[in-house]
Structures are given as structure tokens and as C-alpha cells.
Structure 1
Amino acid sequence: MLASIVLVSSALSGCGSGSQPLRVFVASSFAGVVDRIVAEHVRLHPDTDVELNVASSGTLMTQLKEGADADVVILASESYMGQLAESGLVRRPRIVALNSLGIAVSPSLAGQVTSMDEIRDSDLQIAICVESAPCGVLALAYASSIGLDLASATREPNVRAVLAKVERDEVDVGFVYASDLRSSTADLGRLMESGAERHTTSYSLAVATNSTRAQEARDFASLFETETGSDVMVHFGFELP
């Protein structure tokens, strides 16, 4: 069974009339934001249903290229969204948020591991995203720049899975996003000024070309441009473009 279906799909509904739901494909690291935007959309349009497909950006891109139906697409990769646009699968993508790499230390080691040198010179268990996910791309680029060997690091399907392992003390260190460090309620250690913050990504939003609910998709997308949308993104630790 596909991991993307088992681990990361979810649905939120309003008081829908039973028609086809608005289908939103969203990168896992942005799911908290979209949950709030869905609630606002349903408040404004109470007769609608919204279905979320939450996965890594690479997984979502693959699903769309293989013919999956979507109305709104939000990826943590301008490059992946560009590929979808070049393929004619989405229209007029735009950047709605910014993020950067962050280093999380498990609660049991918080305060003990405080520098990248300590991580590089130890045998700590590290978790990163798979390379097809933008968080994995950033982690590998950063590790290469500082001479950190990640050959033995566990590879997780998305950043939510990495963060969960660190929060549960299943690994010692996780390469996540700065937004995860800002929004996590766990007693994590956070490596500041490690240089990881210089590795950044942007979140691109677009309406799918073949959307069967194009006007509603545009209405949903427009919420990210409102004061409410901006406040939600900042609340979850994202920066605005």
C-alpha cells in the first residue's frame, strides 16, 4: 500500500451538499496552515466540502503527473511547481510563504547538544526527509557544505515524520524546517546560528488547470492574500514573501 495514502491523507468537511469536494494537495510542512485556511473557507462558504491530500511535495508532484485530480496545489518547492506549470497541470503559480532549514534536538538531549560540531563528532542518530522531499534536498545540501556524513541517517517520507521522531525521542537530531522549531510544543533543543538557516525554500500555490471547481479554487487560494491568511502563516512560523 502506498505510504502517501496510508500516512498523509486527510479530510476536513463543512456542511457539504454531497457534491464533489474541493481537493487541495498540500505539502506536509504547510498542513497546519491549510487546516486553518480550510476552516475560514468553510465559514465563508458553509455549503462546501474540502478534501486534503497531505504528502511530501515530491510525492504530490508525482501523483499529479500520474493523473491525480486536484483543484488547489501548494508545494514547498518552486522548482516542483515549475515542473507542473511546464506540463500544463497548474495555472499561474505564486509564492505565498518562505521557510528555511532548522536543526531540532530531542527532548532528552536538549541543552546537552548545542552545536553542529558536537553532532558531527558523535554517533547520534539523525533523521532527515527523503531526497525527493524539499526538506531532504535542503538537509543534504547543508550537510555537504559542512562536511557532515548523513549516510546512516534515517530517511522519512516528509518533515512531519522527522519532527515526530525527534519529539518522541526516537532519534537524537532531526533536520526540519524553521517553522517546525517555532511551532512545536515539545521541549526540543534548537541549534541556532548553525548555518542551516541559509538553506531556504518557498511555498508555491496554484489552481489546477483541470479543476472542476475553478472559481471555488480561486476563492480558496485568495484567502492566503488576506490579513487572516498572513496571520495564520506567521502564527505557524512561516515568513511572508
Structure 2
Amino acid sequence: MRRLASALTCGVLLAGPVACGDDAGTASSGAEVTVLAAASLTGPFTALAAEFEAAHAGVSVRLAFDSSATLAAQAVQGAPADVLATADAATMQVAVDGGAVDGATTFATNTMTLVVPADNPAGLTSFADLDAPGVDYVACVETAPCGAVGAALLATNEIAATPASLETDVKAVLAKVASDEADAGLVYITDATAAGDSVARIDVPGADVEVLDYPIGVLEQAADADLAHEFVDLVLSAEGRAILERAGFGTP
């Protein structure tokens, strides 16, 4: 399994799939499925890619993880990819409206939580503590699904303090908290689960109302639409759902 650089720098602005650099000529040695997926899907989609390759001899899955908004924009610009999975319906709609995806299916749900470093140096005990003097917390940029929902939860809970920084995606937020560069951060429950003992969780009031739906669809520029649909089918299957549930994702 190969991972693309998150920016898909080669061919990102070109319509249709292209080969370049070290990847030139790979089609002759075996089929490939390129999947653009929200950063929060890193764990389960890595596992799903391995399952797909095991069931399809000679096929490799290339994964590109980034902010959903970035990936949707790349898909509309014709990035050489086959499947798009985003962390909310609104971002997927950008790809649909841009003609990159002809319909998508919701395959999972997610909610947000607040994480603090394992030793919790700021002594936070509730979401309201974000307004305490000297507390530095981080969140996603509002163009990302994690940022849009995070901003809504901050407003609902009347948090007046602004984030110390706005990160590109939820993985960047988690990294800052886990490395003690921030006192707290707004992330998905799935990311807090994956982080294990490196962080501690604090519930966010109203998070159960702000549920994110994760849609997936085949891109119009897919080099092999049948193979792309087979990957989507795996994600939607009982096996795929089990992998997602183990990562903390909810069912649609």
C-alpha cells in the first residue's frame, strides 16, 4: 500500500489521472485505487486498504489524508484519484456540485470531544474551563468539518476565549495536545480513541447534537470505476463497518 503526499502535488491541477515521477508506468505492473480521505479516517482506512489489497491480487491502494475541504477542492480540480471520503456532507456536496462525484453514501458518523495532555498540566475538568485565565487551546480551521462543528460548540457553550491557533485538520490539533504544545484541543472522539493514553478526554456539552456524517463516493475521473466501486463496497460492508466501529465511528 502506498501513501500519497497530502497535497497530491503531481497532477493536482490537471484534469484526469496522470502518471509522473516514480509512479510513471505503474499501471503496467498492476492496477491502483487512489483514495482521498479525511485525516480522521487514517486508522480505519489504512486497515481497509490492507484488506482490499489482500482480496485483490496485484492491486495497490494509494491513500491521501488531508482536510476534507482541501481534498474536495482537489477532486473538483481533477486530482488523479478514484474515491473521495469526507468528514461531513457539506464538503462532499462541494465535490458533487463541482461535477467530481455523482452521488455519495454516508458510511459512518463521528462526534467531537475535548482532549488534554495525559498529565493535564492546566488542570482542566470541564469544557467551560477553556475560559479560565492562561488556558491555551487549539481547534481546526473553520473551513474543515472539525473546525465548523468546533466553532458551533464553542458558541453554543458561550466560550469567549479564542483558540491559540487554528490547525489544518484534526490530526494537527491532536498532535499539539499530545506533545504538550497546547492545554487542550477539540478533536473527534475517534482521534481521542486512537491516541490512547497520550491524552485524556473531557466531554463537550451538545456534542451529541452536532453529529458529523461521513460520505464516500467514486470520482468521475476514476481510472477504473469498477475497482473504485469495489473499494466503496468494502467500506459499506459489514467488514468495513466493523473496522470503523473499532476505531470509534458510529453507524449512519
TM-score by length of 2: 0.85
Q: Distance in 2 between matches of 1:101 and 1:122?
A: 23
Which residue is 1:11 aligned to?
none
Tell me which of 145, 161, 174 is aligned to 1:163.
174
Instruction: Give yes or no for contact 1:16–1:46 (8 Å, CA) kept in 2.
Output: no
Q: Distance in 2 between matches of 1:75 and 1:84?
A: 10
Q: Distance in 2 between matches of 1:146 and 1:25?
A: 33
Which residue is 1:189 aligned to?
200
The number of aligned residues is 231
Q: Distance in 2 between matches of 1:135 and 1:64?
A: 20
Q: Distance in 1 between matches of 2:40 and 2:129?
A: 27
Which residue is 1:79 aligned to?
90
Deviations 1:44-90 (A, max 9, x none): 00201111111000110111222212101000010111221122211
* Cα 1:33–1:166 shift into 2, 3 Å: same
SS at match of 1:204: strand
Which residue is 1:9 aligned to?
none
* 1:5 paired to 2:7: yes
Moved more, 161-170 or 176-185: 176-185
Q: Distance in 2 between matches of 1:146 and 1:212?
A: 46
SS at match of 1:52: strand
Which residue is 1:10 aligned to?
none
Instruction: Give the partner amino acid of 1:35.
Output: T
Q: Measure how far apart 1:202 and its partner are.
A: 0.9
Could you tell me which runs of 5 or more consecutive residues in structure 1 were left unpaired when the two chains were aligned: 7-14
Tell me which of 203, 208, 230 is aligned to 2:241.
230
Structure 1 segments, 4+ long, off by >6 Å, are none
Deviations 1:171-223 (A, max 9, x none): 11000001122232234221125333432211100001121110100111100
SS at match of 2:235: helix
SS at match of 1:189: strand
Q: Measure how far apart 1:164 and its partner are.
A: 1.1
SS at match of 1:181: helix
TM-score by length of 1: 0.89
Instruction: Give yes or no for contact 1:95–1:202 (8 Å, CA) kept in 2.
Output: yes
Deviations 1:92-120 (A, max 9, x none): 20000000111101122179311122222
Which residue is 1:200 aligned to?
211
Q: Distance in 1 between matches of 2:213 and 2:194?
A: 18
Q: Distance in 2 between matches of 1:167 and 1:186?
A: 9
Instruction: Give the partner amino acid of 1:65.
Output: V
* Cα 1:159–1:112 shift into 2, 3 Å: same
Which residue is 2:135 aligned to?
124
Instruction: Give yes or no for contact 1:17–1:47 (8 Å, CA) kept in 2.
Output: no
Could you tell me which runs of 5 or more consecutive residues in structure 2 were left unpaired when the two chains were aligned: 9-25
Percentage of pairs with the same residue? 29
Instruction: Give the partner amino acid of 1:134.
Output: P
Q: Distance in 1 between matches of 2:85 and 2:121?
A: 33
Q: Measure how far apart 1:19 and its partner are.
A: 4.3
Q: Distance in 1 between matches of 2:163 and 2:116?
A: 17
Q: Measure how far apart 1:16 and its partner are.
A: 8.2
* 1:102 paired to 2:113: yes
SS at match of 2:102: strand
Instruction: Give the partner amino acid of 1:236.
Output: A
